[in-house]
Amino acid sequence: MSSDESDHAAGRGEPTYFIRKKSWRSPALVAWLRTLDALHLFLRYKGAHLASQGGWPHYRLESDIESSKPAVTGLPIGFYSAAATMDQFEAAWLKPLVISVNLIHSDRVLTHAARYDLSNRHIVTGRFDPRGEPQPASSRQRGSAQQSEMAAGRST
């Protein structure tokens, strides 16, 4: 679903991905998807400052560049922008499903997601303590080692 593009120069050597606009998407769908992106990052932090191992989401910024990829067809009608469904020819090609999908997240979900913004380079690196100030890598590793020892029944 992504047609993001990378620009290493903008990220001072680190990849920076620019999110291309998809004019066929409804604003409600875009907001809903951004919240899901933030929740994915929340899960990578395990809901605390314990960053999980593995590949992390990319640092991404909104852009004014329009995606050249065609719209995804057969989605619920609320996923498409009004402009995409107003044109009879385009609406016939999209074949939107006439079903209602709730694109509203609960207040609790929005509160959690608000702390995990993929356009914040520091958060995306795994060096962020959502409960307070960012932790340096050495204390993050030390804290992780202490928790591993405690889980194994040893104390430090």
Domain boundaries, the chain: 5-151
Neighbours of 118 (CB within 10 A): 20
CA 116 to chain centre: 8
Digit-coded pLDDT (tens) for 32-74: 999 998 888 888 877 666 777 877 778 888 899 999 999 999 9
Among residues 121, 153, 147, 125, the alpha carbon closest in space to that of 137 is found at 125
pLDDT-based confidence at residue 125 (cuts at 50, 70, 90): confident
- How far is residue 77's CA from residue 96's CA, in Å, rounded to a whole number? 5
Pairing between β-strand 5-6 and β-strand 60-66 as defined by DSSP bridges: unpaired
